[in-house]
Structure 1
């Protein structure tokens, strides 16, 4: 609380065949014709727009989307989520975990984990950032267009993202080799809390060990945190509330809820803070109550699922008609949810945070 529906038709993403003998073929050798590439990009955009339209038209579709994203742990941006779903649906498969083939030195991708992509497997594709140092002419043009250009200590344009390309990646089910356990924040926290035991969560209990760390993140943001009796002060009938005003920066959570609900509600309030719902920073955005609650509850649900806490998304925030078919609004909301959930997961356990793309493009891309 806080004071592309369809499946795109047309050519599939390009399929690259990898040979175990000498590693992946150079991507240049698998380039499509200019016409095929244009058709592919048109297909991706059409599917992206169709999925956005479906989310904007039906609140239930948003809940389904958040549940689907939770399986990936908010590892990908909205564009890459949709792109992977598009390809997985076409193949009629439920993907598990993606990594690229890996370099020849076996220091990245599946090769780093002692696994190899089976011969003949078709790659999935995600958008990967292209990083390089732009020329002074490019930098001057971008700055004239109002775009900020990062510069190093010598005043030169710094190495930065200058565009995106489609980069191949493979699902765990497409590989063979050493045993591989999908990394998760839940794994690391259970190992930290219980010495490696991964117990089944009991109804009402919270065995994630994350509550104190979530409270710390709230306090680090400059907010006081207290448990309070129902109906106390600002709390009213809510499970939790974030209050920002002259001389007041406080989060209150009911003291009579279960441990699991307490953690979930505390995460919900942290999400409000991270989304800048109470500070006025996001001026110009359509931040009515329905959108704020949708963002906060979606983030809480994603993080809870990643931590291993069985948390069902509430439906009251979604049935308010907060989107009213506005595709741009849904896109902005989805991007915020993925960005903030990813950041919270990384803060709760930096060592197991979602992978970031490496400068050499060997790791999974994250547009």
Structure 2
């Protein structure tokens, strides 16, 4: 799992572009496949169970996953196993009643009278809804009919693999979570959840390492994009204009928080409007003004415009603001929950890929189950990418901080001192004899660390490990190598070749 080596901004952007494109192609291919179409066709034949029936099913058979009637299971080429008892639910049924009603004039709303002045009545046949007790069976109560086509019923398969350095990785992700993380036995069967009301993330206990990490990242993505815990970012401010076309026509409010902007926008009286009102944002980066952009016009979020302007499309702060605005205004017609799940799972896929954890089968199926159509994914890719970049950067930094804390190394100078002391103790390749002047080896090591070119140092430490002369030195070399990787940064080939000619093979 290559997670300790720093990457330049360009390298990280290139990686995110590759992963985002891979996500788009993977999900669309999965959704368009016969496998997914079959799943959707199967699910269409199931009842859409009410909350009450869901509770009844849970009470009678807590481990139920897919339930259907006897007739439906027959259509899926499955028989009910002998001795199985059905799960009782309330099944809707329709019946008709006839009653006499007065005929009403649709224009006046008055009862129509005949020539004698009597009210005219007619027999109305009305459809009524009632309920009866019916029985369904869980898939575990059925058996495949031999020789018949076998249907697939689950779009996702739980991850089962172990994860290299699981404890360190979990702590690193937990550290960047804006809310506390805990483990529980979640009775609903969910693998985890994020609660903005209780400000917490809960993970199902007893899952595999890969499923646990993926679920944690999924819930952290929810908290970043959809929660209220993230502090206001000073790189973004908001404004409200009564007239979007000409800000000078009517009131204009500047330097607002998002909550203030929403309230100002809603408080503009309709009679005072001189055009379409607007909420916009001003974006800064490192103190540099990048521009202004309307986010909401005429009560509609300007998704297409936002995703067209690159600095705004790639800004996590802007995309977070869009998600908060979605709670108040319409945008793409997709349900808020489906959009949230699509975003969170897609972010989890990208971050897991960066960490070397394969979630293709799980994530593509999960995203596909929430995706209404291809446009929904495409319109959310910028939010997915920007949040993925935000989490990757913070996880990488958290991992580096954790390793450096573990070994008591917090600066280039600390690292150079530890390496110099180790090499003097071990005296590998007559290290002391290579000194041009007192402290020259230390100076060369420090210079390489500051430039981020650690390949030569890592090579030397690897040779120490491979030779295995002394368990103590091998153990220390492994720890130092892990620390050195936290200072690594890719450089040009020319620089690397030049550095290898100096000192500790830098």
Structure richer in helix, relative to its length: 2
Q: TM-score, normalised by structure 2?
A: 0.27
Structure richer in strand, relative to its length: 2
Q: TM-score, normalised by structure 1?
A: 0.35
